Amino acid sequence: MSEKKRLGRGLGALIPEVTESSQETNEIPLDQINPNPFQPRREFDEEKLNELAASIKEHGIIQAVVVSPEGEAGGYTLVAGERRCRAARLAGLHTVPAVIRPVDRKTMLEIALIENLQREDLNPVEEALAYKRLMKEYDYTQEELAQRIGRSRPSIANSIRLLALPENVLDALYNNKMTPGQVRPLLSITNPEKQEEAARQIMQSNLSAREAEKIATEINDRGGKNKKEAQPAEEDPLQAEIQLQMQRNLGTKVKIKKGKQGGTIEIYYYGEEDLERLVAKLLPEGI
């Protein structure tokens, strides 16, 4: 089953039957419709909006938007259909066909996220921030969120992991200067400065995702060698190599400490999402 079909079914579950053509619609003045405060998109493609506006001028709005009444304050909050409303204004319309449904704030965020995911309209940073917001504000686990919006738990985890990258790298990803495939290998590098160094090299040489992986491996190898040089002569080289391999595999800092009759392994994590990612990797069958 395609990702879009799963998402479509999830949207129908969030607003029962609003996708049915038989649903009653009302012509609502655009100036009475307030934007969805949970819209995850930061920017809208102007060229695509103009194309949609031209289509609306010729054919009208085929699919009604969804709005939620604002109670005593009057007016409506837009639930689904941000692009249609923007394009309708560009087309010179004063009203749009709308399905009116009372919708709570949590569902508004879920619907806005799903609507954009259906069109693959969100860039990776917007998508990750939307996931994080749902988890933070409504206490979803990654598993619960995955079930709610029709995505796999690993895809949610991998998306959120991107937010651990330095701000400069995230800006490059947001502005389409780098792709998710190019930046994901940087997560295996634990030093933020080295991550930015690798990102610059990837962008300057326009490296592929596979080549980006090689760059990350080389940086980790250099880091491992430097550590060995700085360590005391009695340091066990096998232990140092195991530690380095564990760091690569887990994508985080690992420290092995030997004791007289055993020792400890320290695995570092940086935030709740990172902890969940590590738990999923170490306990694939679940807790």
Number of Cα atoms under 13 Å in the Cβ half of residue 212: 25
- Predicted pLDDT of residue 7: 40
Of the candidates 17, 58, 82, 235, the residue annotated as catalytic is: 82
pLDDT over 70, % of the chain:
82
Query: 90, 47 in Cβ contact below 8 A?
Result: no
Q: How confident is the model at residue 231 (pLDDT cuts 50, 70, 90)?
A: very low
Which tens digits make up the pLDDT trace of 3-29? 433 343 344 444 444 444 446 788 999
pLDDT digits (tens, 9 = 90+) for 116-161: 666 656 788 888 888 888 788 777 788 888 887 777 888 888 888 8
What is residue 233's predicted lDDT score, i.e. its pLDDT? 38
Q: What mean pLDDT is predicted for residues 186-195?
A: 88
Residue 193 confidence (pLDDT) above 50: yes
Would you say 174 and 287 are in contact if contact means Cβ atoms under 8 Å apart?
Answer: no
pLDDT at 280 over 80: yes
pLDDT at 236: 66
* pTM for the structure as a whole: 0.57
82 is catalytic: yes
Residue 194: name the closest of 153, 239, 243, 227 by CA.
227
Q: What is the pLDDT of residue 89?
A: 92
